[in-house]
Amino acid sequence: MRARLQSLPYGWRLLLATITLGIGTGLVGIACHYLLEGVQWLAFGQDGSDLLQQFKQAGGLRRFLILSVAGILAAGVWYVLQRRYKILSIRSQIDLVGDKEPALLAHILHASMQVAIVGAGASVGKEAAPREVGALIAGRLGKILSLTIKERRVLIACGAGAGLAAVYQVPFASSLFVFETLGVSYRWKNFVLVLSSTYLAAWVSQPIVGHGAIYHMSLVHWSASSFFQAVIVALLVTPLALAFRFLASRASRKRRKDETILWALPLAFLVLGSLVAFFPIFMGNGQVLAQALLSSQSIPYLPLALAVKGLLVYLLLRNGAYGGTLTPSFALGIGSGYLVTLLLTAVGIHLDPALGMLLGATVFLGTTLKAPLTAIALSLGFTGQTWSLTIPLVLAAGLSYVIRKRWEKKR
The CATH number of whichever domain residue 402 belongs to comes to 1.10.3080.10
Q: Which domain holds residue 32?
A: 2-209
- Say whether 125 sits in a helix, a strand or coil: strand
Within this chain, do residues 177 and 91 fall inside the same structural domain, yes or no?
yes
pLDDT band, residue 233 (cuts 50/70/90): very high
Domain check: are 230 and 176 in the same one? no
Please indicate, yes or no, whether residues 229 and 263 belong to a single structural domain of this protein: yes
Indicate the range of 212-216, 281-285, 342-346, 358-362 predicted with least confidence. 212-216
Q: Say whether both 114 and 77 belong to one domain.
A: yes
pTM, entire model: 0.94
CB 393 within 8 A of CB 378: no
Q: Report DSSP letters for 52-74, one per residue.
A: HHHHHHH-HHHHHHHHHHHHHHH
217 domain-assigned:
no
The mean pLDDT value for 301-325 works out to 94
**Separation CA 252–CA 231 (nearest Å):** 31
Name the 3-class secondary structure at 51: helix
232, 276: one domain: yes
For the residues of 171-222, what is the DSSP string, one character each?
A: HHHHHHHHHHTS-----HHHHHHHHHHHHHHHHHHHHHH-SS-SS-------
- Helix then strand then coil, in percent of the chain rounded to 5, is 75, 0, 25
- State residue 22's pLDDT score: 96
Span 197-214, mean pLDDT?
92
Is 189 inside any structural domain? yes
- Structural domain tally of the chain? 2
Cβ proximity of 118 and 288 under 8 Å:
no
| CA atoms of 39 and 173, how far apart (whole Å) | 28
Considering the domain architecture, whether residues 356 and 385 belong to the same structural domain is answered as: yes
User: How far from chain centre, in Å, is Cα 84?
Assistant: 27
Residue 371 has pLDDT above 90, yes or no: yes
- Helices and strands, number each (H, E), in the chain: 18, 0
Which of 162 and 8 is assigned the larger pLDDT?
Answer: 162
Indicate whether 220 belongs to any domain.
no
Give the confidence band of 115 by pLDDT, cuts at 50, 70, 90.
Answer: very high
What secondary structure letter does DSSP report for 157?
H
Q: Are 290 and 204 in a shared domain?
A: no
Q: Is residue 379 located within the same domain as residue 292? A: yes
Q: Is residue 300 part of a domain?
A: yes
Same domain, 241 and 202: no
What number of residues does the chain have?
A: 411
Q: Are residues 230 and 205 in the same domain?
A: no
The last residue of a domain, from among 174, 209, 244: 209
- Report the 10 Å Cβ neighbour count for 216: 13
Kindly report, residue by residue over 33-78, the tens digit of the pLDDT.
999 999 999 988 866 567 778 888 888 999 999 999 999 999 999 9
Q: Answer whether 335's CB lies under 8 Å from 289's CB.
A: yes
Q: Looking at the predicted structure, is the pLDDT value of residue 13 above 90?
A: no
Q: Pick from 130, 136, 102, 105: which is nearest to 118 by CA?
A: 130
CB under 8 Å to 207, separation ≥6 — which residues?
none
Give the Cα separation of 64 and 279 in Å (integer). Answer: 11
Within a domain: 52: yes
Helix, strand, or coil (residue 321): coil
